[in-house]
Amino acid sequence: MRALQIVFFLAVVSLITYGMHHYLWARLVRDPEWPLVWSRFGTGALVVAGLSLPLGMFLNRLLPRAVMTPIAWAIFSWMGLSFFLLLGFAATDGARVLMAAVAGAHDPVRRRFMARVIASAVGAAGLVTGLFAVRTALAPWTVRRVSVRLAGLPPALHGMRVVQLTDVHVGSMIGRDFIASMVRAVNALEPDLIAITGDLVDGPVSALGPHVAPLAELRAKHGTFFVTGNHEYYSGVDAWVAELRRLGVRVLDNERVAVGEGDAVIDLAGVNDWSAKRFDTYKPDLAKALAGRDPARPVVLLAHQPKHIRQAVEKGVSLMLSGHTHGGQIWPWTKLVALDQPYLAGLHREAGTQIYVSEGTGYWGPPMRIGTAPEIALITLERA
């Protein structure tokens, strides 16, 4: 069954990739009617680029990380650039059709000239946009400071500082240096508690273990906690849970712990990722995570996907911390993400439950961001 799912996924990806690159070929090569040598070069380049996307996903699991890193940069940068080119040509197609109607079918020279102008302009705009997007994704994190008022928060915990990390995506392009720098930035904030809300890795422990190792240096008064995201299940969830525990990170497997001292405590709960329902281990069970809790005590829930908010409201959760969306990562992709998730980014309230959705500390796929920024969230809990 798993093999069939993989084959189906690759088939769908291949069909989409073919359609996308055929469209780009038509607009960049066929319509402008460049000289033969340039047409052949453009056609060959687009064929190679198109084959690289599904092939890269396959090779990512086979090649050593040191070999895959430059390949991944090339493949995923093209993925982002091709997205901008598609948007550009889609936006100009209406004008292109209008110009063709005005010029008339009898004027091929004018049509070819306009096709070349459009191809050159869209290509240049796409490249500039891509470079700006890469610069934004690789920029230093924004420390997003958020104050959340919780009813029933003990006076002694007023001002409690919670750092949230999420969607780091350690893999072919994000490695040990990134993690070490992130750890230093987090420790400088002097948090009381650190929450990692999933999608930490994109690959097996055997390849990425050394790159995640600096997490052992995280320091917080009440410790560091982790819940699974969907990408942990693609990367060997059992091995990663064991590795994180070895590094001193507390993995909340549908469970709840008391945070604080004496009577001045709150509940911290963690639920496994929503998508894990189709996997054999670490399935989500919010009822188990919250079983037996004192309803008068505030509870902060770590849940990778904002989709958990419906259940969290029913269970009387005070605050939920999520990620998964990357804030959409690249506008206007945000519009599609919003169709799948109830919240994209920021602090929201639904009934009596508040939810904070981080835009993510790393990135996935193209090393690019438009309209979003990598963040480390510093959440200060205050008495309502």
Residues of the chain with CATH 3.60.21.10: 142-383
pLDDT bin (cut points 50, 70, 90) of residue 54 is: confident
Cβ pair 201, 234 in contact under 8 A: no
Average pLDDT value for residue range 101-121: 78
- In the predicted structure, residue 377 carries a pLDDT above the cut 60: yes
CA dist list (Å): 196 to 205, 252, 309, 322, 341:
17, 10, 18, 9, 19
Average pLDDT value for residue range 23-36: 94
pLDDT of residue 99: 60
pLDDT of residue 58: 76
pLDDT of residue 173: 95
pLDDT bin (cut points 50, 70, 90) of residue 137 is: very high
Can you give 78-131 as a three-state secondary structure string?
Answer: HHHHHHHHHHHHHHHHHHHHHHHHHHCCCCHHHHHHHHHHHHHHHHHHHHHHHH
Give the mean pLDDT of the chain: 92
Average pLDDT value for residue range 283-310: 94
Specify the DSSP class assigned to residue 304: S
Global pTM value:
0.92
Structure tokens at 210: 């050394």
* pLDDT tens, residue by residue, 243-252: 999 999 999 9
Going by C-beta distance under 8 Å and a sequence separation of 6 or more, which residues neighbour residue 164? Answer: 194, 195, 196, 197, 321, 323, 356, 358, 376, 377, 379
Which residues are paired to 161 by β-bridges? Answer: 380
Cβ pair 197, 229 in contact under 8 A: yes
Domain 142-383 CATH assignment equals 3.40.30.10? no
Average pLDDT value for residue range 198-202: 96
Name the pairing type of β-strands 193-196 and 160-165: parallel
Which residues are paired to 353 by β-bridges? Answer: 350
Measured between its terminal Cα atoms, the distance across the chain in Å is 50
- In the predicted structure, residue 205 carries a pLDDT above the cut 80: yes
Average pLDDT value for residue range 253-279: 91
Element (DSSP H or E) covering residue 375: strand 375-383
pLDDT bin (cut points 50, 70, 90) of residue 1 is: low
Q: Which of 189-193, 274-278, 281-285, 340-344 has the lowest mean pLDDT?
A: 274-278
